[in-house]
Amino acid sequence: MEDITKNLTLSEVDKKVLAALKPPVLLYYLLLAGFAFVAAIGLATWVYQVRTGMGVTGLNHPVGWATYIANFVFWVGIAHSGTLISAIFFLVRAKFRDAVSRSAEAMTLIAIMIAGLFPLIHLGRVWVFYYILPYPSERQIWPNFKSALVWDVLAVFTYFVVSLIFFFVGLIPDAAAERDKLEQEHGKNYWRTKIFRRISLGWSGALSQWRHYNRAYLYFAALATPLVISVHSIVSWDFATSLLPGWHSTLFAPYFVAGAIHSGLAMVILIMIPLRRLFNLEEIITPWHIEMVAKTMIVTTLVMAYSYTIEPFMAAYSKNLFEWQFSVWRRTGWLSWSYYMMLPFNAIFPLSFIFKKVRTNYMLMAAISVLVVVGMWLERFFIVVGSTAHDFLPHAWDSYTPTWVEFTITAASFCLFFFLFLLFSKNLPVVPITDFKSQIDEKRKTFDEKCAQPVKIKKALSFMPGYKFVFSEPNEMLKAVKAFCQAGYNRIEVFSPTKIEQLEKIVKVPFSPVKIWALFGAIFGFLFGLGLAIGASQLDDLIVGGKPPVALIPYWIVAFEGGVLFGALFNLAGLIIHGRLFRTSTMHGYDKRFSKDKYGLVVQYSIKDSEEVKNISESFRYEEMESITG
C-alpha cells in the first residue's frame, strides 16, 4: 500500500481542502449558469408534458416505460457508489475511501434527488402523486404495499434520508474546521461563519462528543450497508416481480446492485479526475485512490460479465418458449444495437483495469468510465424497453423512439446533476478533512499504555477551575491523560481534530448509550413498518391479483425499510442528545486551533490539587498551559 500521508501535516490538509472553498473563478460561474440553463429548459419541457399529456413522449402501447424509467434506474445506480464507499468501505476499513467518500456521498445525494424526480416525471397524473404516499387522509385509502412501486418509494425515500444523515454527520467535524477558519479570517459575524456555525452544531472535537460520534457513525454505516444492497434490489424488483420475459428473473437483484455500483464507481472516477486537478487536490486525492476505485470496478465488471453470460443460458435452460424467443430477439431485434453496445462497454472495456498501465492512465480511465456510464444507461434502457416492447402476444409488439421531450428532460437531468455538484464542491469541503487527518495521525498516536487504575472519565464542568493544556503531538496528549488518570483525576476533557480511539485503551470511557437508541429505533421501525402495512391493508380490505389483503411476504420489505429508517433517525437523535449537538456554541475550554492541528486537554481539580496538576504536567511536553477558572 502506498503511503498517502507523506509530506502532509494536519494543517496542510486543512489548508488544501478548505482552499477549494475560496471564491470561484469566472469559468465556474459560466459552467454553473450553463447547467442551470439546460436544467431550466428541462423544467419547462416537463411543464409542457404535464399540461399536454404523456403523448408528447415516444411511449405507446405496449411500451409504457422507457427513457424516464431507464433514467430513474440509472440515477439510483449512480447513487449507489457513494454509500458503498462511505459505509461498506468504512466497515471493512478500506483506507482509500477517505479521499473520495465526501464527493461520493454528495454524488449519492444529488443522484438520488434526480432519480426521485423521474418517477414523478413519468406519472400520467403527477398532480395526484401523493396518492402513493402512506399517510392518513380523508380519502381513507392507503397505498398498496404489495406493489413494487410502493416499495420503491419507501426504499428511495429511506435511502435518501439515511444518506443525508450519513453525509451530514460526516460533515460535522469538517464544518467545525471551516467555521473556525472562517471566524479567524472573517470574524464572528461573517455570513458564512454563521452558516457553518449552524451546520457544525457546536462541534468541539471533545472526547465527550467523539465517543458518541464514533459509535453513531459505526451504526450509520451498519444500517446503510444493507440499505445500499436493498435499494437497488428493490428497484430491480420493479421488474423482477412482474411476469414479462426478460424482467421476471431472480438474477435481477444482485445483477442490478452490481450494475449500480459499477456505474457509480465509474462516475466517481469521472468526477475525481477533473476535481483533483481543478481544486488543487492532487496531493490529497492521489493516483493511488483512483487506482483503488478502478480495482474495485474490476470486481463489478466480472459480476456484470457473469450476469450477461448467465441470462441467455437461463433462457435456454428453462426451455420456456417466451424466454428463449425473447432472448434471441434481444440479440437480433431492432433493439439489439443497444445490446451490442452495452456488452463491451460494461463488461469488456473496464476489464482492462486489471492492467496497471490502464488504471494509472487518467485519460484511459476517464474514457473507459464514460463508456461504462453510457453502457450502464443503455443497459437500463435495453432492459426497460425490450421487455415491454416484445412480450407475450406478437400482435402487441411495437417499437419505441424517444421524442425531443424525453431527450431534453434526460439532458436536463445530467445538467442538474453537474449543477448541484458544482454548487456542493464550492460550498462544502469535498474531502472529509477529519477522516483524512485521522489517518495521518494514526502513525503519530502510538501511545496506548493503560492507566494502572483506570478511572471512569467524567464530564468537565464549566464552573470548576482547572488547567488547559495545548499539544501539537497527540502522543504527548495521550501521555498527559495517562498521567492525570494515574493521579486519580477523573474530570478530564480532551479536544482533538481527529478521532482518538487510543484514549479508550488508556482510560475508561463511559459506555455510549447511542447504541441503545439505534437498536430501539431499528426494532421500533421494523414493527412500525409491518404494522403499517398490515393495518392499512386491513382497512382497505382489497384483493388484488388473487392476493389477500394481508399478504405477509411483500410486507417484510416495508418492515425492513422502516427498521433502517427509524434506526438511522434514532441513532441521529441519540448522537445529538448525548453529544450535546443541539447547541451552536462550542464547549467550555475549546480553542479554535483544536479543529485544525492542535490537541487540548482540560483537567479540573478542586483548589487543593492545583499544585499537583502543575507537578504532573512536568511529565509531558505541552505547548501551552493555561489556568482556567470556573
Partner 1 sequence: MEKFSGDRLSRRNFIKIAGAAGTALALSPGCDSVNKLIPYVNPPRYPFPGEWIHYNSVCRECPAGCGMLLSHRDGRITKADGNPKDPLNNGKLCARGQASMQGLYDPDRLKDVIRQNRGMKPEVSTWENALLEISERIKKNGTRVIIISNLQTGSLAEVIDTFASTAGNGSFAAYYEPFNYESLRKANEMLFGTSNVPHFNLDQADYIVSFAADYLETWISPIEYANRYGNMHSMNNGVIGKSAFAGPRMSLTAANSDTYIQTPAGKEGLVAFAMLKRINEKGVAKNSISQAMPFINSVLEGEKIPARDDEIERLVNDFTSASHGIALAGMQISSSDSQVKSALGAMLLNYSMGRIGSMVEFQRPHALSKTLLNDEVKKILSGISGSDVLILNNVNPVYTYPPSLDGIKKAGLVVFIGTQVDETASFSDWLLPANYYLESWGDYEPVQGMLTIMQPAMTPLYKTLSAGEIFLTLAHTGGKPLKRQPDGKTFSTFRDWFMDYWNDVQRQASPGTSGNTFLEDTLRTGGIWNFNTKEEEPVKISLAELKAGNKTPEDNALRLWLWPEITLFDGHLSNRGWLQEIAEPVSFISWNSWIDIHPALAGKYNLNSNDFLEVEAGNVKFKAPVNVTEIAEENTLCLPFGQGHTALGSDARGRGVNAYAISGVNMSNPITGIKIAKAGGSMHLAYMAKTKEQYGRKVVEWIGLSKLRQLKPEEVKELILPLPEGYQRHRDLYPARIYKEHRWAMVIDLQRCIGCAACTAACYAENNIPVVGETEVQKGREQTWIKPVPYRSDEDKKKLGWIPMLCQHCDAAPCEPVCPVFAAVHNEEGLNAQVYNRCIGTRYCSNNCPYKVRRFNWLNSEFKSPLEVQLNPEVTVRSRGVMEKCTFCVQRIRNAEYHAENEKRKLKEGEIITACQQTCPTNAIIFGDLLDNNSQVTKLTRGDLRRYHLLEELNTKPAVTYLKRINMSES
The residues with which 626 forms a beta bridge, in sequence order, are 468
Least distance CB 123 / partner 1 (angstroms): 5
Residue with cell 416525471: 121
Nearer CB in complex with partner 1: 92/544: 544
Nearer CB in complex with partner 1: 93/139: 139
Strand 492-495 to 624-628 pairing: unpaired
Q: What is the rounded distance in angstroms from the CA atom of residue 405 to the CA atom of residue 245?
A: 29
Least distance CB 543 / partner 1 (angstroms): 5
Nearer CB in complex with partner 1: 126/411: 126
Least distance CB 232 / partner 1 (angstroms): 18
Residue with cell 439505534: 518
Nearer CB in complex with partner 1: 42/143: 143
Distances in Å between the Cα of 116 and the Cα atoms of 158, 407, 422 are 12, 18, 20
Nearer CB in complex with partner 1: 146/491: 146
Interface residues with partner 1 (CB under 8 A)?
52-55, 58-62, 64-65, 119, 122-126, 128-129, 131-132, 141, 143-144, 146-150, 153, 238, 241-244, 321-322, 325, 387-388, 391-399, 540, 542-548, 551, 553
Least distance CB 125 / partner 1 (angstroms): 4
Least distance CB 236 / partner 1 (angstroms): 14
In degrees and rounded to multiples of 5, residue 179 shows phi and psi of -55, -50
List Cβ neighbours of 290 (8 Å cut-off, separation of 6 or more). Answer: 269, 272, 273, 359, 362, 365
Nearer CB in complex with partner 1: 388/586: 388
Nearest of 586, 523, 512 to residue 560 by alpha carbon: 523
Task: HSE, CB side, 13 Å, CA atoms: give it for residue 5.
Answer: 16
Nearer CB in complex with partner 1: 321/354: 321
The residues with which 407 forms a beta bridge, in sequence order, are none
Task: HSE, CB side, 13 Å, CA atoms: give it for residue 151.
Answer: 24
Distances in Å between the Cα of 57 and the Cα atoms of 61, 63, 405, 424, 533 are 12, 11, 6, 32, 35
Query: Considering Cα of 319, then 324, then 325, then 328, what sign does the dihedral take?
Result: negative
Least distance CB 547 / partner 1 (angstroms): 5
List Cβ neighbours of 545 (8 Å cut-off, separation of 6 or more). Answer: 146
Nearer CB in complex with partner 1: 178/238: 238
Q: What is the rounded distance in angstroms from the CA atom of residue 59 to the CA atom of residue 92?
A: 44
Q: Which amino acid is at 545?
A: G
Q: What is the dihedral of CA 500, 501, 504, 507, to 10 degrees?
A: -30
Least distance CB 210 / partner 1 (angstroms): 44
Nearer CB in complex with partner 1: 9/52: 52
Least distance CB 552 / partner 1 (angstroms): 10
Nearer CB in complex with partner 1: 158/346: 158
Least distance CB 495 / partner 1 (angstroms): 51
- For residue 23, what is the DSSP state? P
Least distance CB 209 / partner 1 (angstroms): 42
Which triple of cell numbers denotes residue 335? Answer: 433493439
